[in-house]
C-alpha cells in the first residue's frame, strides 16, 4: 500500500475527507458573497476569508474550536450548529461523533487529526497548486514540508532505517504525518478546487512542491460559467448559503496523482 493510498483510506474511513469536501464549497460560496472587486478586494482577501470560513466549518462538523463540547455534554443543540449557515448547508453537513477528529494545531496553524494523520489548511491562487513556495508561507508550513518521506520503492524501509514509524516534524509532539488541504477559489470565474497531499520543499528549481497530492474537488468553468449557484442573502454571521446544487467533480479514493508528482 502506498503512502498516498494509506492516508486517503484512513482519512476517508474517519469521515474527515467528507467534512473537507462538504466545507470547501460552503466556504467558497460565503467568500463569493462578500467579495467585491470595487472595494479593492484581491487574492489576499480571498485567501484569508476562505481560510476563516473553512476553519469554522470544519470545527462545526467535528465538534472542535468554538463548537467543542463542554464536560457532560453529548452534543450541541441544533440551534447552535445552525447559526451562520443556511438550512441546506446544515442539512448536508456530515455528522462526526465528538472526538472522532480532534484539533491538533501546529505553530498556531489550525489542524485536525485522527490516529496517524493531521491535516492543515492552506489557500493558494487558483491554478497554481504546483507553484506553492512553502518557505514563503509560514514557518509552520515550511517545517511541515521538511517532514521525512520514504518514497514507494525506496531502497530502504523504515524498519531497515531503525524507525518504528515515519518520524513527523521535529519539536512537534504529534505522532504521525501532517498533510495539507490546499484550497483555491477564483471569484471572477467561480472556479474552485481542493487538493490533499503531503507537501515538500523542492530540492532544486524544477522539483515538485509535493511528494504526492490528490484532487478531491473541483468546479466552475474558465469562462465564468456555473461554478457556484446564485446565492440567497447570507444569514447574519453566516458562513455560507445553500450549496446543494454546486456542480463538482470528486475523484474516487486512490485516483490521486501519484507519489513524486511533478508540477505541470
Number of domains in the chain: 1
pLDDT for the residue numbered 158 = 43
**Model confidence pLDDT, tens digit, residues 196-235:** 999 999 988 889 999 999 999 998 766 555 555 433 323 3
Mean pLDDT for the chain overall: 79
The neighbouring-strand residues paired with 219 are: 192
Evaluate whether 192 touches 126 at the Cβ level (below 8 Å): yes
Evaluate whether 59 touches 25 at the Cβ level (below 8 Å): no
Q: What is the DSSP letter of 94?
A: -
CA distance 215 to 251: 7
Quick check: is 253 in a domain? no
SS3 content of the chain, % helix, strand, coil (to 5): 30, 20, 50
pLDDT for the residue numbered 227 = 54
Please give the model's pTM, rounded to 2 decimal places: 0.77
Quick check: is 246 in a domain? no
Quick check: is 261 in a domain? no
pLDDT for the residue numbered 79 = 66
Quick check: is 152 in a domain? yes
pLDDT exceeds cutoff 60 at 130: yes
Quick check: is 211 in a domain? yes
CA distance 40 to 52: 19
Quick check: is 235 in a domain? no
**Model confidence pLDDT, tens digit, residues 135-183:** 898 899 999 999 988 664 443 444 444 444 445 576 788 999 999 999 9
**Model confidence pLDDT, tens digit, residues 1-24:** 688 999 999 999 999 999 999 999
Q: In the structure, what pLDDT confidence band is assigned to residue 243 with cuts at 50, 70 and 90?
A: very low
**Alpha helices (runs of H) in the chain, residue ranges in sequence order:** 3-14, 16-34, 43-62, 78-81, 87-91, 139-145
Quick check: is 37 in a domain? yes
Provide the grid cell at 255: 485516483
State which residues form the domain around 130: 3-219
Q: What is the DSSP letter of 5?
A: H
Quick check: is 41 in a domain? yes
Amino acid at each position: 500500500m502506498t503512502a498516498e493510498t494509506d492516508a486517503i483510506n484512513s482519512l476517508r474511513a474517519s469521515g474527515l475527507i467528507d467534512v473537507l469536501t462538504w466545507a470547501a464549497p460552503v466556504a467558497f460560496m460565503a467568500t463569493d458573497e462578500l467579495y467585491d472587486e470595487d472595494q479593492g478586494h484581491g487574492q489576499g482577501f480571498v485567501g484569508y476569508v476562505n481560510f476563516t470560513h473553512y476553519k469554522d466549518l470544519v470545527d462545526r462538523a467535528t465538534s472542535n474550536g468554538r463548537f467543542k463540547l463542554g464536560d457532560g455534554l453529548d452534543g450541541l443543540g441544533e440551534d447552535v450548529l445552525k447559526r451562520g449557515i443556511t438550512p441546506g448547508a446544515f442539512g448536508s453537513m456530515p455528522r462526526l461523533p465528538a472526538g472522532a477528529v480532534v484539533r491538533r494545531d501546529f505553530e498556531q496553524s489550525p489542524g485536525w487529526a485522527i490516529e496517524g494523520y493531521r491535516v492543515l489548511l492552506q489557500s493558494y491562487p487558483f491554478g497554481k497548486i504546483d507553484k506553492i513556495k512553502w518557505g514563503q508561507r509560514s514557518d509552520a508550513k515550511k517545517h511541515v514540508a521538511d517532514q521525512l518521506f520514504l518514497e514507494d520503492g525506496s531502497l530502504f524501509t523504515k524498519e531497515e532505517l531503525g524507525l518504528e514509524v515515519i518520524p513527523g516534524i521535529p519539536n512537534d509532539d504529534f505522532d504521525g504525518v501532517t498533510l495539507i488541504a490546499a484550497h483555491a477559489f477564483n471569484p471572477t470565474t467561480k472556479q474552485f478546487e481542493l487538493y490533499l497531499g503531503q507537501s515538500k520543499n523542492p530540492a532544486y528549481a524544477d522539483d515538485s512542491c509535493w511528494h504526492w497530492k490528490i484532487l478531491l474537488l473541483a468546479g466552475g468553468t474558465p469562462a465564468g460559467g456555473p461554478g457556484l449557484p446564485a446565492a440567497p442573502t447570507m444569514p447574519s454571521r453566516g458562513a455560507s448559503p445553500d450549496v446543494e446544487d454546486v456542480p463538482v467533480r470528486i475523484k474516487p479514493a486512490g485516483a490521486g496523482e501519484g507519489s513524486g508528482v511533478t508540477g505541470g
